Structure 1
Amino acid sequence: MQNIDIGISKDARIAVAEGLKRLLADSYTLYLQTHNFHWNVTGPRFRDLHAFFEEQYTELAQAVDEIAERIRTLGVLAPGTYKAFAELSTVKEVEETPDAEEMVRILTVAHESVVKTCRSVLKVAQEADDESSLALISDRMSIHEKAAWMLRSLN
């Protein structure tokens, strides 16, 4: 690979990329969880939640690509296996199929967890003076804060 000279030291690029790997893992795990709930939600709120979950997982599908591409831009390989995501993610997997109300609660907690990951990675990107990563992380944080608010408003 050619030398990367984008005004960020190699150590700083690696530190930011490591944080972005955690954000990628959180986002991908949340994507899977949301898609699972979209498929399996039942009950009187089925139609609304089915559509709402689809909006969320569609947005997350785009996000994971953007995060992974930023990691690659920084010269680091992006994780791409379930095993890697499970090791890196703060979003906890759900093995059972909860009822609709519990799905909403679980997704709320998961979005809040991603916000916390964003906040920790944001600090690393600030120290590296990495404006591109800062913009990406800040945008993701805002999206997850809004998603958590919307989910909380459903109960």
Structure 2
Amino acid sequence: MTEQMKVVPKAEKVDTGVENAKGLAGALSGAVADTYRLIFKTHAYHWNVEGPLFYSVHHLTDAQYNEMFPAADELAERIRAIGQLAPHALAEVMKLSVVKDLTSLPSTLEMVEDLAQDHAAVAVRFHELIKLADDNNDPVTADLATRRSAFHEQAAWMLRATAK
């Protein structure tokens, strides 16, 4: 094996004026974890939804998980851009996320309510990331977190409106 193939990724100092890159990367890692867990949960509910709301919930969840998948990549790449390592193990994703699984497959209404609560909790974490980014001279992360929070707030609203 050539030496080029033996490179192991490691954190590095990137001098763009961003302060506390390690702390920002930790918060961004939580955002990646939340996004991945919410993608899976949304997709699982999409596959299993039944009843009179089937069509609307099936299509709403399809739009939501498809929007979140590229967002996870953007968040992880931001971690790399500030010189830190992105999450690399599913166990780490599970540990870092505020999104949790229910103990059994819920009813359609419970699915919608559960996803709405998850989106709201993730939005709150993005609000915290915005503040952390602002406090550490990182307008790029603040902008990214603002866009992601807006998505999760809208997703929570749409799901709450569906559950009425």
> TM-score, normalized by length of structure 1?
0.94
C-alpha displacement of 1:26: 0.9
- Counterpart in the other structure of 1:33: 41
1:139 and 2:140 equivalent? Answer: no
1:17 and 2:55 equivalent? Answer: no
Q: Percent of counterpart pairs with the same letter?
A: 37
In 2, the alpha carbon distance for the partners of 1:3 and 1:91 equals 31
- Counterpart in the other structure of 2:4: none
* 1:153 pairs with one of 128, 139, 161: 161
- Counterpart in the other structure of 2:54: 46
In 1, the alpha carbon distance for the partners of 2:13 and 2:128 equals 28
C-alpha displacement of 1:82: 2.0
C-alpha displacement of 1:53: 0.5
1:104 and 2:112 equivalent? Answer: yes
Indicate if the aligned counterparts of 2:13 and 2:83 stay in contact, CA closer than 8 A: no
In 2, the alpha carbon distance for the partners of 1:147 and 1:81 equals 27
- Counterpart in the other structure of 1:5: 15
C-alpha displacement of 1:132: 0.4
**What amino acid maps onto 1:38 in structure 2?**
H
Indicate if the aligned counterparts of 1:105 and 1:152 stay in contact, CA closer than 8 A: yes
**What amino acid maps onto 2:67 in structure 1?**
E
In 2, the alpha carbon distance for the partners of 1:121 and 1:47 equals 35
In 2, the alpha carbon distance for the partners of 1:134 and 1:61 equals 20
C-alpha displacement of 1:124: 1.0
C-alpha displacement of 1:3: 4.5
The runs of 4+ residues in structure 1 deviating greater than 4 Å are none
**What amino acid maps onto 2:53 in structure 1?**
R
> Unaligned regions of 5+ residues in structure 2, if any?
1-9
Q: How many residues are treated as equivalent by the alignment?
A: 153
**What amino acid maps onto 1:6 in structure 2?**
T
Decide whether aligned partners of structure 1 residues 79 and 3 sit closer, same or farther in structure 2, where only a CA change above 3 A counts: closer
Give matches, 1:51-66, under 5 Å. Answer: 51-66=59-74
> TM-score, normalized by length of structure 2?
0.89
Q: CA RMSD in A?
A: 1.3
User: How far does the alpha carbon of each residue in 1:54-77 deviate from its partner, in whole angstroms, 9 at most, with x for none?
Assistant: 000000101101101101111111
Aligned-partner SS, 1:93: coil
